[in-house]
Each structure stands twice: as structure tokens, then as C-alpha cells.
Amino acid sequence: MAVAAPPKTPAKKNRRAIVTPEGVRLPVALADRGERLAAVLIDLLIITGAFVALVLVLFGLITLIARQEFSSYWGSLSVALTMVAGFLLRSFYFLVFELRWQGQTPGKKVLGLRVVDRHGGPLRPEALFARNLMREIELFMPISLIFQISRLGIDGWMALLALVWTGIFVCLPLFNRDRMRAGDFIAGTWVVTTPKHVLEADLTASAAGGGPARPLTAGQPEAASTGATPPEGRTRFSHAQLDVYGIYELQMLEELLRKNRPDSAQAMAAVCERICKKIGWPGGPPADTRAFLEDYYAALRAHLESRMLFGDRRASKHDAPGKK
């Protein structure tokens, strides 16, 4: 029987770690430069198509209003409106999509990329605004200058300067280890690959009739990552076992662990039994219920924070995994 090859993991040089404000370490993989370029090209094609459609509509409306008297005034107005529309389109296209789609544009979504805050916090609108405003300075302004050389009578040296300016900014991701462009430096962001969730080896065996899925415990080979590396000696849980609960259940578990009442031991034993049954833990509740619950709490918190970093917020166990 053929054995499926394990999923490819990014090279170590592509890996970084984001430490959230709560101190949870979340590993991420930086996007390849080629993938980023392809995503930008897809977005530019969409912007160009929308711009052409907008120009046709504007000229059609102005022609209709002018009623066959398309004088120089109407021509100048058409050019002015077209320039303003182009600026607004290319400026707000990236900003609006990255705000609504948690750091993704259509191009990034196709390539499986996402903008994240490299300090572990949520993406701030002002950071995204600064990041995308820099794109105007890095790319669009010098390119526009180059294409208007003949019309504006720009000296050849100025055109060369604009070309060098564009080249420096375009090549900037090639010369820093984090592959950041100027906008990323200013906004404090990284462009990372969105994790692709695949069936772990033990879950695949279970689906094929190989018995119940056996989660990983401390000391076993890590066949399935939870999205955050647990400290040495802690119990490991699979994605499927952590996807059972959401933020509400995490808060309830935290409240239980913080209480110090006479009946805390009995309450923990009951909760541990319910959790083990829910996640399909083999062998039933362990002897040290508090240690087990603390490990599950730490793993669940890291798992949920990792998902939220990529725009996936699960409020409770009643929300389907992947809800944004």
C-alpha cells in the first residue's frame, strides 16, 4: 500500500515567530518573493480592468452630457476625472480589501498570502493606510512620471532618476532577510503564507479504518502541529482536538483553573472527563486532571490566537471552524 508523502514544510530560513501580547509564540512562514510578485500582478490586472471600465463609463457620461459638443473643456475635464479616479482606485483597492479580508487582496487570496502584524497584534487601519500609501511613492508615482516624459517634456536624466528610484524600491525585498518592502518597514508588517490545513497521518489512518485517531503526547514525533510549539514536557494535541472548542469555552476553562475552592478538584475532574470524551482522548481522563487541563488550555489558547492571526475567529464551539 502506497504511503502518502508528508506535506511540505517551508524551509527554516523562511520561518519566523510572532510573539503575541499574551506571550504565545506563533510560527509563521514568510511568503516567497515570486509569490508576492505574482499576487501584485494579479491585483494590478484587476485594477487595470476596473480602470478601463471606469474610463469608458466616464467618457460615455461626459459625451452624453456634452451633447455632441465635446470641446476642449470637456476633454480636459475627462482627463482630470480619469486621473483622480485612477489615483483613488489604486490607492484604496489594497486598503479596502486588506481591511475587509484580514490582510488579503484578491491576488493574495489566490496565492494563499496574508499581511500580518509582526508584533502579534491585530492589523491596524493606520498601519495598512501607511503601508499602501508607500506603494504610491515606491511604484505608481515614478512609473507615471516615466510614462509622461514626452507629454511633460521631462529631461532624460529625470526619467533615469525615476527609473532608478523605482528599481531601488522594487528590489528592496531582495536585500533584507524578512523580504519586507518599504511599506512593511513603516507599518510593522510581514507578508506570510496562509497555513494550509491537511489531514494528519493519524487522522488519515482513522478514516481508512485504522482505528481511532491517537493524539500526540510529549515525547512523541510531531506529526501534526497545533500552530504553536508547546513547551517541553507538555501534552500535544492535534488540530482536530483543538478545533472542538472556541473562545467562550477557553474563558470558562481559564476561570475554572483560576478558582481555588474546596470543590475545585471535583469540578476539574468532571470537566476533564467531558473534554476527554469530546475530543476522543484515548484511555479516558488522566490521573493528573489539573496538569491535563492546563496543557489543554495553553494549547487551545495558542491554537485560537494562531487562527485569529489569519482572520479566523471562532467565538464558541457552536461556530464552525473557519468562520471569520
CB within 8 A of 43, min separation 6: which ones? 93, 94, 105, 106, 107, 108
Greatest CA separation for the chain = 90
How many residues can be counted in the chain?
324
pLDDT digits (tens, 9 = 90+) for 146-185: 666 655 556 667 667 777 777 777 778 888 888 888 889 9
pLDDT digits (tens, 9 = 90+) for 251-293: 788 878 887 777 788 888 888 999 999 898 988 888 888 889 9
293 lies in which domain range? 197-309
Q: Both 305 and 172 in a single domain?
A: no
Asked, for residue 283, whether it belongs to a domain, the answer is yes
**pLDDT-based confidence at residue 108 (cuts at 50, 70, 90):** very high
DSSP lists the bridge partners of residue 30 as: 192
pLDDT digits (tens, 9 = 90+) for 199-233: 333 322 333 333 333 333 333 333 333 444 445 56
- The pLDDT value recorded for residue 276 is 92
Helix (H) or strand (E) segment spanning residue 57: helix 33-66
Domain stops at, among 141, 176, 193? 193
pLDDT digits (tens, 9 = 90+) for 20-31: 655 556 778 899
DSSP state of 263: T
Q: Both 204 and 182 in a single domain?
A: no
Domain stops at, among 193, 212, 230? 193
User: DSSP states of 192-216 as a string?
Assistant: EEPPPP---HHHHHHHTTS-S----
What pTM, to 2 d.p., does this model score?
0.58
Backbone region of residue 266 per phi and psi (left: phi > 0; alpha: psi in -120 to 50; beta: other values) = alpha
Domain stops at, among 153, 170, 193? 193
Asked, for residue 7, whether it belongs to a domain, the answer is no
Q: How many CA atoms are closer than 13 Å to the CA of 300, on its beta-carbon side?
A: 26
CA torsion, points 18, 10, 199, 220, in degrees to nearest 10?
-80
Q: Both 263 and 220 in a single domain?
A: yes
- More confident of the two residues 14 and 65: 14
Helical spans, DSSP H, in 101-116: 106-111
**pLDDT-based confidence at residue 42 (cuts at 50, 70, 90):** very high
Q: Both 169 and 62 in a single domain?
A: yes
CB within 8 A of 291, min separation 6: which ones? none
Domain count, the chain: 2
Q: Both 155 and 256 in a single domain?
A: no
